[in-house]
Chains A and B, each alone.
Chain A
Amino acid sequence: MTDKVLEVKNLTVHFYTYAGVVKAIENVSFDVYRGETFALVGETGCGKSVTARALTQLIESPGRIVEGEVYYHKNGESVDLLKLEEEEIRKYRGKEIAYIFQDPQSSLDPLYSVGFQVSEALYAHNKVKSIKEGIRKAVDILRTVLMPDPEKRVSNYPHELSGGMKQRVTIGIGISNDPKILIADEPTTALDVTVQAQILNLIKEMKRKYGATVLLITHDMGVVADMADRVAVMYAGKIVELADVFSIFKEPIHPYTEGLLKAVPNPLIKIERLETIPGTVPSLINPPSGCRFNPRCPLASQICRAKIPELEEVKNGHYVACHNR
Chain B
Amino acid sequence: MQEIHEGQEGQKTGEEYQRSILDRISDFFIEVLVSLISTVKKGWREKNRSRVAEWKLMFYALNRSPPGVIGLFLVTIFVFLGIFGPFLAPYKYNYFPIFENGDTYLSPPGQFFPLGADHFGRDLVSLLLQGARTSLVISIIVIILGVPLGIVLGLVAGYFGGKIDELIMRITDMFLAFPPLILAIAFAAVLPERISYLINNNPLLQQLLLWLFALDTREAGNLSRLLAVMIAMAIVWWPGYARITRGSTLTERESLYVESARAIGLSSAKIMAKHILPNIIGPILVYVTLDFGSVVLTEAGLSFLGLGATPPIADWGRIVYDGSQFFPKAWWLIIFPGSIVLLDVLGWNLLGDSLRDVLDPKLRRSIEFKVKRKKGEKT
Contacts and interface: CB of A to CB of B under 8 A. Distances in A.
Contact of B373 (A18, A278, A279): A18
Interface in B2-22: 3-8
19 contacts: A17-B369, A18-B367, A18-B368, A18-B369, A18-B370, A18-B372, A18-B373, A19-B369, A19-B373, A19-B376, A20-B369, A278-B3, A278-B4, A278-B5, A279-B5, A279-B6, A280-B6, A280-B7, A286-B376
B376 A20 contact: yes
Contacts of B100: none
Contacts of A276: 4
B379 interface: yes
A280 B9 CA distance: 10
A286 B378 CA distance: 11
B366 interface: yes
A7 to B, nearest CB: 28
A79 interface: no
A21 B372 CA distance: 12
Residue among A17, A18, A21 facing the most chain B CB atoms (10 A cut-off): A18
A227 B96 CA distance: 94
A19 B5 contact: no
Contacts of A280: 6-8
B377 interface: yes
Contacts of B4: 276, 278
Interface of B: 3-8, 365-370, 372-373, 376-377, 379
B5 A20 contact: no
A71 B5 CA distance: 42
A285 interface: yes
Interface string A1-44: 00000000000000001111100000000000000000000000
Interface of A: 17-21, 276, 278-280, 285-286
B290 to A, nearest CB: 26
Interface of A is mostly: loop
B6 A19 contact: no
Nearest to A276: B4
A21 B368 CA distance: 15
Which 7 pairs from chain A and chain B are nearest by CB? A18-B369, A280-B6, A19-B369, A280-B7, A18-B366, A20-B376, A278-B3
A286 B8 CA distance: 12
A260 B379 CA distance: 33
A229 to B, nearest CB: 34
Given A278-B4, A279-B6, A280-B6, A21 B377 contact: yes
Contacts of A18: 365-370, 372-373
Nearest to B4: A278
Contacts of A279: 5-6
A279 B365 CA distance: 25
B372 A20 contact: yes
B86 to A, nearest CB: 46
A280 B5 CA distance: 8
Nearest to B6: A280
A21 B370 contact: no
Contacts of B365: 18
Contacts of B367: 18
B128 to A, nearest CB: 43
Contacts of B6: 279-280
B376 A285 contact: yes
A17 B372 CA distance: 11
Given A17-B369, A18-B369, A278-B4, 15 more contacts: A18-B365, A18-B366, A18-B370, A18-B372, A19-B372, A19-B376, A20-B369, A20-B372, A20-B373, A20-B377, A21-B377, A278-B5, A279-B5, A280-B7, A285-B376
A276 B369 CA distance: 33
A20 B367 CA distance: 12
A294 to B, nearest CB: 14
A18 B17 CA distance: 13
Contacts of B376: 19-20, 285-286
Nearest to B366: A18
Contacts of A278: 3-5
A91 B118 CA distance: 78
A279 B7 CA distance: 6
A17 B373 CA distance: 9
Residue among A19, A21, A276, A278 facing the most chain B CB atoms (10 A cut-off): A19
A323 B299 CA distance: 75
A315 to B, nearest CB: 32
A286 B377 CA distance: 10
Contacts of B369: 17-20
A69 B366 CA distance: 32
A21 B379 contact: yes
B57 to A, nearest CB: 13
Nearest to B377: A20
A47 B378 CA distance: 22
A122 B370 CA distance: 45
B182 to A, nearest CB: 43
A271 B363 CA distance: 45
Contacts of B377: 20-21
B61 to A, nearest CB: 11
A280 B7 CA distance: 5
A180 to B, nearest CB: 37
Contacts of B373: 18-20
B361 to A, nearest CB: 14
